[in-house]
Amino acid sequence: MTLKDKIITSKLPKHVAVIMDGNGRWAKERGYERIFGHQNGVKAVKNTVEAAAELGIGYLTLFAFSKENWCRPRSEIDALMDLMASTINSETETLIKNNIRLIIIGDLNSLPDKIVSKLREVTEATKNNTGLKLVIALSYSARWEITEAAGKIAEDYKTGKIKEVDEKLFCKYLSTAEIPDPELLIRTSGEYRLSNFLLWQIAYAELFFTKTLWPDFSKEDLYQAIINFQNRERRFGKTSEQTD
Ligand code: FPP
C-alpha cells in the first residue's frame, strides 16, 4: 500500500495552507546563494500543486512572499520577483489545462507593475476554472490584512453601509472573503512559528510541522501531512463525546 493509498478521499482537508520555508538554508548547505534555494523551491511548488489537484483538494494557499520579506537584501527581492514572474508565465498554460484557478491575496500595490499586470492576466484567464483553487499569498501579512479590514469596516460603519459588526461580517472584509478557512496548515524547515500568516483564518486549523526544507518537499510529504491530519480528532471546542 502506498502512502497515497492511505489517504481517505472522503476526508480530505478542504483547504491546505503552506508556509514554504527553508530555501535559503537548503542553498547554503550546498554552498550556493539563497536564490538557488528559491529556484529549487519552484519544483516543490509544482509538485505540491500537482499533488493537491490530483487528490481533489479544494484550496491550496502558498505563502510566497510576506510583507516582512521586503526587508531582505534588494538583490534577493529582485531575484525572487523575477522568479515568481517567470514561473507564473511559464505555468499559465498548465494552470488552464488542469482547470486550476489562480487567486492572489496580499498588498498588490507594493508589487512591481509588471508582476501585477501578469497576475491580473492569469487570474482573469483562470477565473472560471472549477478545479483546484491555487491561492498565492504575495506581499501578504495577516496583521496588514486585519488592519485593512478594520479600516474598511470603520468607513462603511461611518457612512451607514453597515450597522453591526460580527465575525461573519468581518470575514467578508478579509482578502479570503470567498475562501473557506484552512483546515490544515503545513510549515516546512523545522520552524514552529506562524509568521503573520492567515492568523484570523487558521483559528481551528490543524498545524503540521516538518523538518523537511521546502525545496525537498515532495508529493509524499504532502500525503504524510494529510494522513496525519486525518488521524486527528477535531473538536472545535466541544468534548470528545460530542464530536463522535
Ligand atoms: C522561504 O525560505 C521562502 C520564500 C520567502 C520564498 C518562496 C518562494 C518560492 C518557492 C518561489 C516560487 C513561488 C511561487 C509561488 C511561484 P527562506 O528564504 O526564508 O529560507 P531560510 O529560512 O532557510 O532562509
Rounded CA separation 123/10 (Å): 29
Give nearest CA residue, ligand 1 atom 10. Answer: 41
Ligand 1 centre distance from Cα of residue 119 (Å):
18
All three cell numbers of 53: 489537484
How many CB atoms sit inside 10 A of residue 150's CB? 13
Active site residue 21: yes
Residue 160, sorted as left (phi over 0), alpha (psi -120 to 50) or beta, turns out to be left
Rounded CA separation 76/38 (Å): 10
End-to-end CA distance of the chain: 28
In the set 47, 69, 129, 196, the catalytic residue is 69
Rg for the chain (alpha carbons), in Å? 18
Rounded CA separation 94/102 (Å): 11
pLDDT, block means (10 residues), the chain with 244 residues: 96 98 98 97 98 98 98 96 94 96 96 92 96 98 98 98 97 97 98 98 98 98 98 82 75
* Contact status, residue 115 vs residue 64, Cβ threshold 8 Å: no
Rounded CA separation 79/225 (Å): 30
Residues framing ligand 1 (Cβ under 6 A) = 20-25, 34, 38, 41-42, 45, 62, 64-65, 69, 83-84, 87, 136, 189
Active site residue 69: yes
Ligand 1 centre distance from Cα of residue 150 (Å):
29
Rounded CA separation 96/84 (Å): 18
Top mutation candidate among 18, 19, 20, 115 for ligand 1, by most atoms within 8 Å of CB:
20
The tens digit of pLDDT for each residue in 55-88 reads: 999 999 999 999 999 999 999 999 999 999 999 9
Q: Is 3.60.9.10 the CATH classification of the domain at 12-141+181-229?
A: no
Rounded CA separation 240/232 (Å): 11
